[in-house]
Structure 1
């Protein structure tokens, strides 16, 4: 009996989702938080998880980033994820930057994002967005000397549309 009740409840929830999917948000009776979660889940289903990229390990510490990207066919391509500072040296930070190579030619650089691990905080989110359609993106992750110092131990990951065979 419990299984049947759960099945009916699930069917009702799915039906409500289908019926309200085409209804404008102002007319929908669904809660705004539920709509936001559904939109985020739909977006994540279209995005590509490229795993983790790491800076060079030529000394005891390193930086790493979890990387997600949107489709290359999007008008404004996005690269996003979490940045981790895994260098035990005081004053060293994790640094990440994106360089977008546009379809119509030219390249654009995002502002650099730095994160210095502090008390109990192990990661920070980042988001880079292009200003148009791109053919490739270079993501450069490094260990940085403080919040404003030079970067070192860098590694660059290039992602192209043809690399994604999904």
Structure 2
């Protein structure tokens, strides 16, 4: 097993790596596996979902309008998304400042894509913005948005990891 494939967790992907070895556009990183991309996306989705649902619940409970509620939900989605990575790399021994830089590098694009897709679906679903927490429409739009966001964000994460960016930055510290 070559050291690059071992480092990125794509040991089963030798043929793909060897086929690209030495190409300038590949930057010397082994291609990311779909499993690695799914794991990174699920990690991101968990933080986003917790933050976004919490923001929606708080905004609705305080009877805020749609815009302030969405701003709170998106802010909390980023906060929780970054926090999951921050805690993981802190456990790996990084100081706070370095850990924060790693979390920002690893998650910013992933969380942004996920939030744009998810909130876009909620905004475009007729009646979803005005639905209450007790309405099935609210939850189906939110969960449907997360499902579509997952499907769109996974290939983005795969592409980034394959180029040594995104969650590949986190894996360097495990």
Q: Normalising by the residue count of structure 2, what TM-score does the alignment of the two structures yield?
A: 0.26
> Greater Rg, structure 1 or structure 2?
1
Higher strand share: 1
Q: Which has the higher relative contact order, 1 or 2, with Cα contacts under 8 A spaced 6 or more apart? A: 2
